[in-house]
Amino acid sequence: MQRYYVTTPIYYVNDKPHLGHAYTTIAADVLARWHRLNGADTWFLTGVDEHGQKVLEAAGKKGISPQAHVDAMVQPYKDLWARLDIRYDDFIRTTEPRHKAVVQAALLKLKEQGDLYEDVYEGWYSTAAERFWTEKDLVDGKCPDTGQPVQWVQETNWFFRMSRYGERLREWIEAHPDFLQPASRKNEVLGYLRKDLGDLCISRPAARMSWGIPFPWDESFVTYVWFDALLNYVSAVGFSPQGENGPDFARRWPAQHHLLGKDILTTHAVYFSTMLFALGLEPAEHLYAHGWWTVEGEKMSKTIGNVVDPHLLVDEYGADVVRYFVLREIPFGNDGDFSHKGLLERTNADLANDLGNLLHRASSMTGKWLGGRIGALDAPTPADLELQGLADRAVAGFARELEAAQFHKALESLWELVRAGNKYIDTEQPWALNREGKTERLGGVLTRCLEIIRVAATLLQPVMPTKARELAAQLSLNADPLLALGCASLDHLVAGTVLPEPAPVFPRLLELPPRIQEALAKAQAPTPPPPPPSPSLPVPEPPVDETTPAAPALIGIDDFGKIQLLTGRIVAAERHPSADRLLVLQVELGEDKPRQIVAGIAARYEPQNLVGQQVVVVANLKPVKLRGIESHGMLLAAGGKDVRGLVTVGEPLPPGTLVR
RNA sequence: GGGCCCAUAGCUCAGUUGGUCAGAGCACCCGGCUCAUAACCGGAGUGUCCCAGGUUCAAGUCCUGGUGGGCCUACCA
């Protein structure tokens, strides 16, 4: 029996599920449903990643245990998958004993075979920022992020000898050209491998970050989140690094497809593959990195993300239409834009006009002229044979493309048949056949149109499970599921079967739903676009959240008084010669000559537009060299790492005016 | 600065290994049909295939350089 095992990344439980998560999961669900439909021994795994710094912090803020926190946070994912009609076979959580046991056993195995070693890392550690800094990072000997003192820490950690397996991975990729998809991504990974592959630090001292899987031989360490998370793909199906594998492991692994976002390609392709090699396993057959969605032409952000809140989309369009749209609109692997206008046009053109209307016109004519009963097929004409040929090609193309995760091509292939159906009606002119009393031919023609709908209903089951059933119901087909095997043959319907009263399965959308319009109007409000979210898995090192900083300690007025803020006027601005995000500014502060200030605002401002701009400057900051250029102060700007706007003063003031 | 990818009709994009490769869908216009969800069918188009060189009998298709855009990475005082 053919077998098929597909996975999504396990999503970071602290994030709210969004369109990116939904996209990957819908794609995996469609693949799983398709293989299930074809009788393959199918397994679809999704889940959540529950360890790491951010979970710990969030739980701390809520005053509950991390476990209680993740227990609550997992529900939104399960809810959304239910609403999107996602039928997974297993949902893994990394806090489950079955997973922890595998991670720990894997650690032991690697240690025993000499793939782990301890090493001492020395560096300046900032407790406030919870990270290491190099000597040159430090400002005035203090943490550059928080200004807090740093300590020279010698920290022991465990390292995985990833470097041992780099060459093998390179060979594997060369020998399996379809391993990394799309092909362009393969180059990225090979480029990454061209550099010397280092070893991977896979532990964190529990004293510093306790929310993780403890090392089996030393509980003062917990497992690095990636090492933990990646193993879910094998732990969930019964891998046992040291003992006997679970009964299902052999029939599941290696998986056929890992679907993931392009941002986590390296971790999967490099970290995970080498881990598998070390554990004596082979990687999955295909690792497919898909693109990111922009929304209404903008990078996804909290603001714009609201207009594609998956629950809103399901409420207003229905799960099936959302599923269809995201898979049809862009090639899997490319970035794409989700616009409501695009969705409206796409669904009207494809679903209402082409497919829905084909059914409606055929069933209406059957109702009107054949008493609502499916007509018998007549002897095929050349046109009929041609139609059959098209059906054969459409079904074959659909299957081929779908199995390659080329959803848009698969659907396009089916739609060639649907369009041919509309054309067939036009050339055969059933209304003329009716007028002329050619009932036998009329029955044959209309039935072939209904057969096309049957083919569509069959192939669309994985993509639009509910709508496919509705299509089938319009044909009085009760079989569930409709078997895909042999479905291309346009002779399945039983003559004489009574059809229900025709009803549009895909109503035309005349305008965007009111709630969508409201959401769009709200999002129009001019908020510049912050950075894109990662649609999947955890970030390697949890960065400090800039938008909602942990409540800082209260300071007195005297502390504030240490900061000298002055108005200034930018008199010259140019790009930093060797740093993309930096601008080198000359700012007039009322001193004998302008100050040179380097600012990380190049992503948002053109140098020429800044000249003459009034700004507020931290004037008594210690000078520092930024990528070789001295900076004597700092511009105030709103936003975190993504600058949203410069701080200025409402009216023109002489440079050097005190600000407080 | 280093690495990778991309640039083809108004829009979104197809164009494997160089030789009907100048295409599809959408939008628009014209015509047809009337069964149908103001749907369907046909037709017309429009393109310096980013720019400049080069290789070749032949180049969107290969090479070099440039321009513009995206992603990864370092710099964000």
Residue A399's contacts (CB-CB under 8 Å, 6 or more residues apart) are: A410, A484
Tell me the domain boundaries of chain A: 340-509, 557-646
Q: Nearest residue (Cα to C1') for B4? A: A188
How much is the pLDDT for A131? 60
How much is the pLDDT for A537? 36
Q: Cβ distance A2 to A38 under 8 Å?
A: yes
- Cα–Cα dist A549/A269, whole Å: 33
CA nearest to A164, candidates A219, A228, A113: A113
The strand pair at A116-126 and A151-160 is best described as antiparallel
Residue A535's contacts (CB-CB under 8 Å, 6 or more residues apart) are: A18, A19, A20, A21, A23, A24, A261, A263, A292
- Cα–Cα dist A447/A388, whole Å: 13
Q: Give, in Å, how far the C1' of B29 lies from the CA of A50.
A: 58
* 3-class secondary structure, A187: helix
- Cα–Cα dist A447/A439, whole Å: 12
- Cα–Cα dist A583/A627, whole Å: 11
Q: Nearest residue (Cα to C1') for B14? A: A409
> The domain A340-509 is classified under which CATH number: 1.10.730.10, 3.20.20.140, 3.40.50.1980, 3.90.1200.10?
1.10.730.10
* DSSP-derived secondary structure for A136-163: GG-BTTB-TTT--B-EEEEEEEEEE-GG
- pLDDT above 70 as % of chain A: 85
- Cα–Cα dist A115/A106, whole Å: 11
Residue type, A597: I
- Cα–Cα dist A73/A94, whole Å: 13
- Cα–Cα dist A70/A75, whole Å: 9
Low-confidence ranges of chain A (pLDDT < 50): 526-553
pTM of the model: 0.81
Q: Give, in Å, how far the C1' of B30 lies from the CA of A520.
A: 37
How much is the pLDDT for A578? 62
Q: Give, in Å, how far the C1' of B37 lies from the CA of A508.
A: 6
Give the nucleotide nearest to A598 (CA→C1'). B77
Q: Give, in Å, how far the C1' of B55 lies from the CA of A559.
A: 70
Q: Give, in Å, how far the C1' of B8 lies from the CA of A256.
A: 35
* E strand or H helix at A659: strand A658-659
- 């392009």: which residue's tokens? A262
Q: Cβ distance A87 to A33 under 8 Å?
A: yes
CA A153 to centroid of chain Cα atoms: 37
How much is the pLDDT for A548? 27
Give the nucleotide nearest to A187 (CA→C1'). B4
Buried b (16+ CB within 10 A) or exposed e, A529-551: bbebbbbbbbeeebeeeeeeeee
Give the gyration radius of chain A's Cα atoms: 30
**Cα four-point dihedral sign A176, A179, A180, A182:** positive
How much is the pLDDT for A139? 58
CA nearest to A93, candidates A126, A55, A50: A50
At residue A120's C-alpha, the angle toward residues A115 and A122, to 5°, is 145
How much is the pLDDT for A167? 86
- Cα–Cα dist A555/A558, whole Å: 8
* 3-class secondary structure, A3: strand
Residue A268's contacts (CB-CB under 8 Å, 6 or more residues apart) are: A230, A258, A260, A287
Give the nucleotide nearest to A139 (CA→C1'). B77
CATH of domain A557-646: 2.40.50.140
DSSP class of residue A373 equals B
Q: Give, in Å, how far the C1' of B63 lies from the CA of A74.
A: 54
Give the nucleotide nearest to A191 (CA→C1'). B3
Q: Nearest residue (Cα to C1') for B73? A: A192
Residue type, A165: Y
Q: Give burial (CB, 10 Å; 0-12/13-18/19+) of A412.
A: middle
Buried b (16+ CB within 10 A) or exposed e, A413-425: bbbebbbbbbebb
CA nearest to A638, candidates A533, A530, A525, A524: A530
- Cα–Cα dist A358/A366, whole Å: 12
Q: Give, in Å, how far the C1' of B32 lies from the CA of A184.
A: 46
Q: Cβ distance A444 to A375 under 8 Å?
A: yes
- Cα–Cα dist A110/A234, whole Å: 16
Q: How far is CA A158 from CA A101, A124, A220, A228, A603, in A?
A: 18, 19, 11, 14, 38
Q: How far is CA A414 from CA A324, A351, A487, A656, in A?
A: 13, 12, 12, 69
Give the nucleotide nearest to A192 (CA→C1'). B3
Chain B, protein-covered positions (CB within 7 A)? 1, 3-6, 12-14, 25-27, 32-42, 70-77
Q: Give, in Å, how far the C1' of B59 lies from the CA of A173.
A: 31
Q: Give, in Å, how far the C1' of B35 lies from the CA of A520.
A: 39
In chain A, what are the helix, strand and coil shares in percent, each to the nearest 5?
A: 40, 20, 40
Residue type, A132: F
For the sheet with A116-126, list strands across it: A131-133, A116-126, A151-160, A200-201
Give the nucleotide nearest to A423 (CA→C1'). B41
Q: Nearest residue (Cα to C1') for B77? A: A634
DSSP class of residue A353 equals I
- Cα–Cα dist A282/A650, whole Å: 63
Q: Give burial (CB, 10 Å; 0-12/13-18/19+) of A177.
A: exposed
The strand pair at A583-588 and A214-215 is best described as unpaired
The strand pair at A629-631 and A634-635 is best described as unpaired
How much is the pLDDT for A385? 94
Give the nucleotide nearest to A626 (CA→C1'). B75
At residue A422's C-alpha, the angle toward residues A419 and A427, to 5°, is 125
